């Protein structure tokens, strides 16, 4: 079930990090503070290396990609657990509290759960 996931190009990686470091650099200007020179220099380095599609960015790109995969393996189950225990479980408890059986699973001496349909379709002239 493992798929080969392609690592993004060094160009896109460089441009994305240029934007990130540029945003970090100019963010203090919103509060009438000085811009961050170190971040601006880093942004320009990433822009230049990204535009020339430098192989220097390959190890950083690979490291960032692996970090993203690790983050996905951690965050995804946590979010799914929050959804399950925050939405599905309370809904099930409320349904039990009000004695609702939406799936009609309570057996009343029946041999099967099969529900006979009243309107039997021949599937003719569908469109």
Q: 57-83 and 37-51 helices cross at what angle (nearest 10)?
A: 110
Q: Report yes or no on whether pTM surpasses 0.85.
A: no
User: Residue 10's CB: how many other CB atoms inside 10 A?
Assistant: 20
Under 8 Å between Cβ of 25 and 43: yes
Whole-angstrom distance between the N-terminal and C-terminal Cα of the chain?
A: 38
Digit-coded pLDDT (tens) for 82-109: 999 999 999 999 999 998 888 777 767 7
Digit-coded pLDDT (tens) for 26-63: 998 888 888 889 999 999 999 999 998 788 999 999 99
- Higher pLDDT: 101 or 25? It is 25
């Amino acid at each position: 079930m493992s798929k080969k996931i392609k690592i993004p190009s060094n160009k896109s990686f460089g441009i994305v990090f240029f934007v990130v470091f540029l945003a970090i650099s100019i963010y203090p200007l919103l509060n009438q503070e000085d811009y961050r020179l170190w971040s601006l220099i880093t942004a320009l380095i990433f822009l230049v290396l990204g535009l020339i599609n430098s192989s220097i960015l390959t190890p950083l790109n690979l490291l960032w990609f692996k970090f993203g995969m690790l983050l996905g393996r951690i965050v995804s189950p946590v979010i799914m657990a929050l959804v399950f225990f925050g939405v599905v479980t309370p809904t099930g408890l409320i349904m039990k509290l009000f004695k609702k059986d939406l799936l009609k699973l309570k057996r009343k001496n029946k041999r099967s759960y099969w529900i006979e349909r009243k309107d039997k379709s021949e599937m003719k002239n569908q469109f």
